[in-house]
A and B are shown apart, each in its own frame.
Chain A
């Protein structure tokens, strides 16, 4: 570990850090955790235990322990599934798409975002299993050779989902880990004892040699290039879980881009939500600068506008289609039994982000943090609205209801999912550099040129 470094002054960051500063400051975040970390971990683990308890009850008695009521066969779990998949997306956007676009500002925030992606997909992946009536047979959706001679139905959007989510998890985890290799090597070189050995293994013996960098950069570029269509496809596939249904309110061609924009929107919101405390606790103000937050805020504003446009389009198309069932569904969405959910969604996703037009707000970290929380809530409700209100008001009027509300079991599992996610994140920030060391260095003027031109 690095020797004790002079503490960073709080408040406004000093000028551009040097290579050495980067190493020192970032590796410092891996220092043995303090009380606060353990307290956080304790909270997170107890929340997770509660979620696990709820799931155990559900496994034992059946999905009946939830408050699901036909025709609302999907509710909190699928809402939360889509929410977490959506969260995952901005991570890949920032790490892969902005990489391809050579947006230099991404380097400071991408590691945390990419980690968020992986953990969000890990969280999301739990929900399709959680919501199954017979979760213990979840493996049947994988087309594996079996004694029955049965395979999976590749025409089912849920099988597409299986492929999309598992590919996404594999590729984004790979992408995260590949990006980590040089940094792990840097940590290894600062570490001693067993840590050095462990990081040595994890770094695969990375030496920063020209050959390694040469192939690494190619690989990284292609991974980014593959991740970009992947990230677009994953949320499209998730949207097709709904759009392939005939449920009015689901069956819309706009769904893929609408969901992707929403996903990035929610993801950016979540990145802000995570980075603000991270920056504060690890004193990374020199690396996570206001500029970065402002860019994220701009991205939020952009995607918020896309999402709002999608809302308007949905209603417009419902009206313009002349399809009375579609119209009724959307009328019900805004003014029916779930009007409150719809208006929470619209307020949080369309109205509140409009504040980001003001530079003052964009550059105020506390305000951004609050707005990001609104975005998170709004995007959860967006999925709730799409799933629950559409199902509550389908073709058959005899089967309409608006009595469904999540109950404590569902909310317990929702809470558990946040804790599960946080647990992984807390572990990550203590074991791996949550800001990309080599990439930040790459963006900085190299030693000897500090007073020359800037990086990019």
Chain B
């Protein structure tokens, strides 16, 4: 990884950790020092980071709920309205036979629920990301953890200190 161009004003630092505990220590310290604008990179989801970052419950679940309900309503509405559009009796069954329509409703619930959940994830996770993320290092998808801290020059310097102290293998400017 090439070192970033030296700038007089650096907006943040990225710590590269080869050790989960070191990364956790750094994160805990940074949090304790009041750093709010932190990004943690982890090759696999680690609940330890979540615990430390104390995030709010992800709103993705609401998307699921709304998607599911919409799908259900659309499924039923579709089946019922099209059946009524041209009334054809089959097998002596009512035009609007709800039991079979439950299946349509159900499948639409799942379909819309799933697709809107995915859409919700994309929205909330700010995907797709078209530009390079500041401080990202390809090793973060391999075997290194990363913490990127942003702030004023003083904060950044302090963050670098904290990271190095915690055991960062490298601390790079962003």
Contact = CB atoms under 8 A, between A and B. Distances in A.
Interface of A: 18-20, 23, 143, 149-156, 159-160, 163-164, 167, 170-171, 174-175, 178, 182, 185-186, 188-190, 204-219, 222-223, 225-227, 229-230, 233, 237, 240, 438-439, 441-442, 446-449
A252 B137 CA distance: 59
B7 interface: no
17 contacts: A18-B143, A23-B43, A149-B85, A154-B104, A155-B90, A167-B111, A174-B115, A208-B141, A210-B53, A211-B39, A217-B45, A219-B120, A222-B64, A227-B114, A230-B114, A442-B44, A442-B45
A81 to B, nearest CB: 18
B103 A163 contact: yes
A188 B139 CA distance: 11
A20 B124 CA distance: 30
A447 B144 CA distance: 8
B21 A233 contact: no
Contacts of B136: 207
A286 to B, nearest CB: 15
A155 B100 contact: yes
B121 A185 contact: no
Nearest to B140: A208
B19 to A, nearest CB: 3
A441 B91 contact: no
A58 to B, nearest CB: 29
B35 interface: no
A218 B59 CA distance: 9
Interface string B56-70: 001011001000100
Contacts of A174: 114-115, 118
Contact of B138 (A155, A189, A226): A189
Given A204-B122, A204-B127, A233-B103, A213 B45 contact: yes
B97 A155 contact: yes
B120 A207 contact: no
A208 B42 CA distance: 6
Given A167-B111, A222-B60, A240-B103, 18 more contacts: A154-B79, A154-B104, A155-B90, A155-B97, A189-B138, A189-B139, A207-B129, A207-B133, A209-B41, A215-B58, A215-B60, A215-B121, A217-B45, A219-B120, A222-B64, A223-B118, A226-B110, A442-B44
Interface residues on B, range: 35 or more
B128 to A, nearest CB: 4
A441 B141 CA distance: 10
B107 A163 contact: yes
B117 A163 contact: no
B98 to A, nearest CB: 10
A158 to B, nearest CB: 11
Shortest 6 CB-CB distances between A and B: which pairs?
A205-B129, A448-B19, A189-B138, A219-B121, A19-B143, A204-B128
B42 A210 contact: yes
A205 B128 contact: yes
B133 to A, nearest CB: 5
Contacts of B60: 215, 218-219, 222
A143 B82 CA distance: 8
Given A150-B86, A205-B130, A210-B50, A185 B141 contact: yes
Contacts of A230: 107, 110, 114
B118 to A, nearest CB: 6
Given A174-B114, A189-B141, A210-B50, A449 B107 contact: no
Interface in B113-168: 113-115, 117-118, 120-122, 124-131, 133, 136, 138-145
A19 B82 contact: no
B61 A218 contact: yes
A449 B50 contact: no
A170 B117 contact: no
Contacts of B121: 178, 215-216, 218-219
B86 A149 contact: yes
A433 B141 CA distance: 14
A315 to B, nearest CB: 28
Interface in B11-63: 18-22, 38-46, 49-50, 53, 55, 58, 60-61
Contacts of B21: 448-449
B127 A20 contact: no
A210 B39 contact: yes
Contact of A226 (B97, B117, B129, B141): B117
A149 B90 CA distance: 17
Nearest to A441: B44
A217 B58 CA distance: 9
Most chain B CB atoms below 10 A, which of A167, A185, A217 = A167
B172 interface: no
Contact of A171 (B45, B104, B111, B130): B111
Most chain B CB atoms below 10 A, which of A217, A223, A447 = A447
Given A154-B100, A448-B20, A206 B45 contact: no
Contact of B106 (A178, A204, A212, A233): A233
Contacts of A150: 86
B45 A216 contact: yes
Contacts of B117: 219, 222-223, 226
Contact of B143 (A20, A149, A178, A211): A20
A217 B143 CA distance: 20
A209 B53 CA distance: 12
Contacts of A163: 103-104, 107-108
A163 B127 CA distance: 29
Contacts of B133: 205, 207, 209
